[in-house]
Structures are given as C-alpha cells and as structure tokens.
Amino acid sequence: MDFKHQKHLSEEEYPFAVEQAKKYLDIITTSGSATGVSADAEKVRKIKSLAGQHPVGLASGVTPKNIHEYIENTDISIVASGISKDYRNLDSQKVAELAKIIEQYNRKMSRKYFENETLEKYKMSSATELYKYLSQ
C-alpha cells in the first residue's frame, strides 16, 4: 500500500486502502519512494494504526540507524540495501547491528507482554505491586 514506484495515496485514502488490503493481503506492505529510500515514519504509523492487529510490513530503506523509527509499527521488514556494502554483498557488521537491535526490542516486548498478562491474571495495576506480592 502506497508502495514504491506506484501512485502515492493521499492520507484521506488510507482508511479505504487499508480496509481493502486487510481483505486480500496477509501483510499490508508499504515502502519509501524507491529502493533504499526510507519510508515516512508517520505514514507507517498511520497505516499500522488503521490496520489494528493485521500485520504491517515495510520494504525499503530500513537500516540499523533508523529501525527505531519503524519497529513499533511494523511486524516485518524486508531489508537488503540498508545492510549491504553494495547491491550484491551484505555488510556483516550492519547485519549484526540490526539483528542486535531487533533482538533487544523483542526481549523488551516479551517482558512487557509477560508483565501485562501476569498483572491481569493477578488483577494488579503495576509491576511493583506484583513483585511485592510475589516476593511475600
């Protein structure tokens, strides 16, 4: 949706486009204007907001330096030029850096999910309250 080398959508067209995409696509995917060009982070946020639980992917311009702009609003990223030395060879240092950032984010989110599920289970409002209860 609003993908590189295609007609760009206006913001007013996003709700209809997302609803249509949800009917036919497993993952709603967007991109920047061309290969290697970063997508507008606000556009990605709006698409994810409209998509709800439906997966959203990003297919251009993701790098270790900008992944933080997208990671909370995407479920998958297709990354090549952002971690490459050139169009044929990956840069192992960039690959490792991106993998580390994603791993740290996933650990943080797993911990957050576990805490939220546990708080709900014990009917408590904060992690501090829960830890005090569990340490008794």
Q: Provide the mean pLDDT of the chain.
A: 90
Average pLDDT for residues 9-29, to the nearest whole number? 95
Better pLDDT: 129 or 109: 109
Residue 2, sorted as left (phi over 0), alpha (psi -120 to 50) or beta, turns out to be left
Measured between alpha carbons, how far is 69 from 118 in angstroms, rounded to an integer? 29
d(Cα 12, Cα 104) in Å, to the nearest integer? 35
| Residue 51 confidence class, pLDDT cut points 50, 70, 90 | very high
Q: What is the pTM of this model?
A: 0.78
Q: Which of 12-26, 103-117, 121-135 has the lowest average pLDDT?
A: 121-135
Return all residues near 105 (Cβ < 8 A) that are at least 6 apart.
Answer: 71
Residue with tokens 């850096």: 97
Q: Is 130 a residue whose pLDDT tops 80?
A: no
- Residue of 41, 73, 76 whose CA lies nearest to 57: 76
- Direct distance between the N- and C-terminal alpha carbons of the chain, in angstroms, rounded to an integer: 52
Residue 38 scores a pLDDT above 90 = yes
For 81-109, what is the mean pLDDT? 93
pLDDT at 96 over 90: yes
